[in-house]
């Protein structure tokens, strides 16, 4: 079995998928942070392709960076200066070749994540 990485972003304040939220993926090796790709969520709050497909999968430490502030601005969430949540980095490890699903539950003033299935 090959590993791969997916996500799903839900806007818990509005009760809907977070469409159009930009996500960057980085690989972390020692203290070096290497950008792998940028994607955006679709109408279902998911990316149209796997964030890290099986052909590119390698165990190690990664970081998903969710651009929440831009998304909240686009949704018409009342602005703050600065926004309480702007860029949300999630650093995690993938230790085996399996499906890693790292969802984000988002509101303007909080978020949560977990290893999903």
* CATH code, domain with 24: 2.60.40.180
pLDDT tens figures, 30-83: 989 999 999 999 999 999 999 999 999 999 999 999 999 999 999 999 989 999
Q: Evaluate whether residue 52 is within a structural domain.
A: yes
Q: Is residue 55 part of a domain?
A: yes
- pTM across the whole model: 0.95
Distance CA 11, CA 110 (A): 10
Q: CA nearest 83: which of 96, 94, 67, 98? A: 67
- The domain of 34 spans 4-110
């Amino acid at each position: 079995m090959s590993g791969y990485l997916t996500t799903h972003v839900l806007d818990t304040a509005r009760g809907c998928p977070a469409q159009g939220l930009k996500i960057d993926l980085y690989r972390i090796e020692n203290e070096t942070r290497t950008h792998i790709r940028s994607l955006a969520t679709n109408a279902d709050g998911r990316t149209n392709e796997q964030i890290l497909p099986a052909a590119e999968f390698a165990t190690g430490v990664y970081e998903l960076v969710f651009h929440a502030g831009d998304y909240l601005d686009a949704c018409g969430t009342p602005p703050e200066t600065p926004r309480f949540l702007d860029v949300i980095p999630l650093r995690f490890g993938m230790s085996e070749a399996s499906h890693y699903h790292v969802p984000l539950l988002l509101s303007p003033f909080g978020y949560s994540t977990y290893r999903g299935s």
